[in-house]
Structure formats: structure tokens, C-alpha cells
Amino acid sequence: MVVWVNGAFGSGKSTLVDALRQRWPEALVYDPEMVGYVLREIVEVPTGDFQDLRLWRRQVADLAVGLVEEYRRPVLVPMTLVNSGYVGEIFGALKGAGIDVHHFFLKVSREVLEKRIDGRSFTPDDPEQDERVRRWCKDRIEPCRAAADTLPGDTVFLDGELTPQELAVQVLARVRTGGASGA
């Protein structure tokens, strides 16, 4: 099983996955961003967004399948994924491999997202790069929020302004009863 936690930058995906991991210690945490970092070291990313690389999408799905098949443990994935074609491609590959996908999207107001992004340090040793990353994240808030309407019909939308502990309880209740499966 894969539990995909989706949402805009600053919505609390990683924080929720940390809270889930505390309650579900057998689960593995898989951050597809690492696949993107590896690919950036090897090939040029013309658009600047590694999700636009077909190889990234294929590798993300293949590694998730491999983790589930090899270790027979649930996999928690904190990753913004809002391009409906990319969602279909990755989730379709997971489903094609016989893996249940539980897809959650954290809805958070623009104001809260901006405040959270402003409160983070991405590259503490490089303030200029830090500001570029913040700007990049903020520029993607509206496309992420708008994309919520294009996500698969069985996506479960959560109030991302609740505490991580409250959200973890909601996610685990849905996952354990099969209430957010498919895509």
C-alpha cells in the first residue's frame, strides 16, 4: 500500500508523514524529491521542474512498487503532485502493479502557506538561494490549489490547518477502513 500525502508547498506533507510514522512504525517513508535530486546531477532539467522528466515519473513509480514488493510494508509518500497527467501516470503504474494507493490532499489557505514558507530555511548558508526557493514555492501556491479540482475523484481532502496529530488520526482511520483507496 502507498499513502500519498499531497498538497502545496508548506501545506504540511512532511510533518504529517512524520506524525503518521510515529503511529505506524512499520511504514517506510519515501520522498520522490530525492529521485529528482539524483536526476538533476545526471541530466539537464529544461523546465527546472524534475517532475516534467518522464524518467522521474517512471522512477518514482518503479521505486514505490519495488519498496512495497520487496519489503511488504506500507509506504508513506510526502510529495506535491498536481499535474493531472502525471498523477494518472504514476498512480496508474502503481495500480497496474496491484498496489493500493490512498491519496490525501492537504488544503491550506494561501495566507497560511505563505507564512509557513516564509518561516522555513531551505539553504541557510545561501540567503539569495533561500529567497529564490521561497519565491519558487510561493509561485506554485495557486497552481497547486487550483489543481485540487483535477485530482482523482477518490482523493481525500484534509484540512491542512489541523494539527499533524489530528490529521494522522484521520488518515489512519481512512486507510485502515479502506476509505481512500484507488486513483
Short-list 17, 55, 16, CA closest to 36:
55
Mean pLDDT score of the chain: 94
d(Cα 63, Cα 165) in Å, to the nearest integer?
28
CB-CB contact of 137 with 10 (8 Å): yes
pLDDT band for 183, please (50, 70, 90 cuts): very low
Q: How confident is the model over 3-29, as pLDDT tens digits?
A: 999 999 999 999 999 999 999 999 999
Q: Please say if the pLDDT value at position 32 is more than 80.
A: yes
Q: Please say if the pLDDT value at position 179 is more than 70.
A: no
pLDDT band for 144, please (50, 70, 90 cuts): very high
CATH assignment of 2-177?
A: 3.40.50.300
Q: How confident is the model over 91-137, as pLDDT tens digits?
A: 999 999 999 999 999 999 999 999 999 998 888 899 899 899 999 99
Q: Which pLDDT score is estimated for 123?
A: 85
Q: Which pLDDT score is estimated for 180?
A: 54
Q: What angle do CA 42, 43, 45 make, to 5 degrees?
A: 135
d(Cα 41, Cα 71) in Å, to the nearest integer?
28
Domain boundaries, the chain: 2-177
Q: Please say if the pLDDT value at position 62 is more than 80.
A: yes
Helical (H) or strand (E) element with 179: none
Q: Which pLDDT score is estimated for 20?
A: 98
Q: What average pLDDT does the segment 151-165 reach?
A: 95
Percent of the chain with pLDDT over 70: 97
